[in-house]
């Protein structure tokens, strides 16, 4: 994955506790088109690596099949509009009361981005990729 440049990176701002963390990205990419980071997507959400594991553990605990399948931080995952819609439902079903406010916000932002892919009439896919 290329370095962070475009898109939202609300948690790794200078001076923040996540400033030096490796990111993983959720991004909207054209459906059915190979993606190689030669051009970074404009619609992206960069999240610090420490968010990945509690989210994955919550998915396992809640028996959420799609989120539970994201078991390798370094893999690339692509979800078509239908699967992105399923991801939105799973993200929204995670109990957040025991999660940090930052992770709660990340789940909300990720759900919003996945929702945009879901409502794209098949023109966009959601890409999830680690460093």
Decide if 13 is inside a domain. no
Other Cβ atoms closer than 10 A to 24? 21
Full pLDDT tens readout for the chain, 131 residues: 544 445 688 999 899 999 999 999 999 999 999 999 898 898 999 999 999 989 999 999 999 999 999 888 789 999 999 999 999 999 999 999 989 999 999 999 999 999 999 999 999 999 999 88
Asked if residue 17 belongs to a domain, the reply is no
Domain count, the chain: 1
| CATH number assigned to the domain comprising residue 71 | 3.40.1760
pTM recorded for the entire structure: 0.90
Q: Indicate whether 5 belongs to any domain.
A: no
The answer to whether position 32 is within a domain reads yes
Sheet of 44-48: strand order equals 44-48, 23-30, 124-129, 76-79
- Going from the C-alpha of 85 to that of each of 14, 15, 19, 37, 103, the distances in angstroms are 33, 35, 31, 24, 20
Residue matched to tokens 């990419």: 29
Is 7 inside a domain boundary? no
């Amino acid at each position: 994955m290329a370095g962070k440049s475009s898109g939202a990176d609300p948690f790794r701002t200078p001076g923040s506790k996540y400033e030096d963390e490796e990111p993983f990205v959720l991004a909207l990419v054209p459906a059915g088109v190979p993606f190689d980071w030669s051009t970074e997507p404009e619609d992206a959400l960069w999240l610090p690596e420490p968010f990945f594991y509690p989210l994955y553990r919550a998915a396992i605990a809640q028996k959420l099949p799609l989120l539970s399948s994201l078991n390798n931080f370094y893999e690339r995952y692509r979800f078509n509009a239908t699967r992105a819609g399923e991801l939105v439902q799973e993200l929204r079903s995670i109990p957040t009361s025991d999660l940090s406010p930052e992770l709660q916000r990340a789940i909300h932002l990720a759900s919003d981005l996945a929702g945009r892919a879901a409502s794209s009439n098949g023109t966009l896919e959601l890409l999830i990729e680690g460093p």
